[in-house]
Structure 1
């Protein structure tokens, strides 16, 4: 059994094999269905099942078949299966244990046997792989680039709001847009000039703007999670500490889920090795 594949390579392959093709199948089928509907090739009661239900069914069927193939390949060829499993759940390639997603995976009898054999790999701890390019301490602040982009959106909202208020038919809607634009500008300006560290990470422990410093031995279940879908997707740093739980939104910080999860693994690993 070769175990030379990294977690990052396995996740990328999963996205190219499962995630991207499934989305392509979904949107392509929807477009084809809408075109057929517009040309009156499909009419009447067949519109809903062919145009709107079939695309989701095809995409789900593709996922149900390919996820099993990827899961067996990935966990067979990656040494650090605990990290791989956590990353795959975070990236929504697979579901958590006993979740509804897991129940929909299509497995042959051989797939079941192979997966049961691979489960024994979870009895071993992951091997720590240090990254010398990461400094002894990482400090995370508000992102100036994100602040600038959001500020520009705020100014656009102000301009549109002023324009709409000049029309008596749109004055209420214009005032609403204007207020939202002003609020967004105020919020982003405030964050842009906020020089307080939001998260501090090192091999001793972690501290956030909301929670005092705790050593790694007093922290459990640390990870960055994704919550919501589409435009309502947000990312949170979560971990348990004595008598409490951190749940810090990181959307506006100069980091992301992938980077911060890597840092959490790295600094805890350095702490254990010391």
Structure 2
């Protein structure tokens, strides 16, 4: 049997390089060619009618072929297929299983048979690989850099408001801008000097600010996701505790989304390993 010696991170990096990046490149080059061609042709309507579909269909066809090739290679060479599938879908390398996106993948008869055989690997739980570089506890605070940026944005709104309102004395938009800037900068300034932990993670569980400690046995669905809020996408740390759904905005914190994902995996994994063989460590936790 072939040794599964490729890590999930290595497989995902290979997927981004061979699937995602080429798709973006093909789309970008296609648009450039389309723009150049339409400027040279007299019948621009006909050029647009033919060119635009080609611009979008070409990267889609590439993805449909490349995603299948990566899927077969990655799930053959990686041991932890559950983690791989979850993270690959989030990275948009492949579509979720049985989704319409997956149905767009182009597979030969041989590739279909290979994938059916690989599905048997999902009957085996993932192995936990600890990372000794992750401390026994991680305390997460507000991001100082993000707060400085927000303060500067608030000052900018105040300056714009002064420019609009002071000379005319009647520009309501100027006064609104000043009020918004004061509120925005004031809140960011308050958070900048707030040194209270916003989130604490360890192998026993987690604790939100002003919240009670919750053990991993009472937590489910922990993940870092992108969620639409109005016209914007926000990165959120989400989890459930005893039926209650929690959301924490990642951009407010001093850890990136990818770092939080890793911490969640490691601490959850350590907890589950400790359930099999209780730990004798005497580390001091914040809770």
Q: Does 1:34 align with 2:54?
A: no
2:281 corresponding residue in structure 1: none
CA distance in structure 2 between the partners assigned to 1:175 and 1:182 by the alignment: 11
Conservation of the 8 A alpha-carbon contact between 1:36 and 1:42: no
1:135 corresponding residue in structure 2: 135
- The alignment partner of 1:261 has SS state of helix
- The alignment partner of 1:98 has SS state of coil
Q: Does 1:88 align with 2:88?
A: yes
Residue 46 of structure 1 and its aligned partner are, at CA, apart by: 3.0
1:189 corresponding residue in structure 2: 189
2:262 corresponding residue in structure 1: 262
Q: TM-score, normalised by structure 2?
A: 0.85
How far does the alpha carbon of each residue in 1:104-143 deviate from its partner, in whole angstroms, 9 at most, with x for none? 1111111110111111111111111111111111111110
1:21 corresponding residue in structure 2: 22
2:10 corresponding residue in structure 1: 9
Q: 1:38 to 1:156 in 2, by over 3 A?
A: farther
Q: CA RMSD in A?
A: 2.4
Matches within 5 A, 1:138-149: 138-149=138-149
Residue 181 of structure 1 and its aligned partner are, at CA, apart by: 3.6
CA distance in structure 2 between the partners assigned to 1:36 and 1:166 by the alignment: 51
Q: Which runs of 5+ in 2 are unaligned?
A: 275-287
How many pairs were matched up?
271
1:223 corresponding residue in structure 2: 223
Matches within 5 A, 1:95-106: 95-106=95-106
The range that moved more, 31-40 or 17-26, is: 31-40
CA distance in structure 2 between the partners assigned to 1:40 and 1:173 by the alignment: 47
Q: 1:165 to 1:132 in 2, by over 3 A?
A: same
CA distance in structure 1 between the partners assigned to 2:47 and 2:125 by the alignment: 53
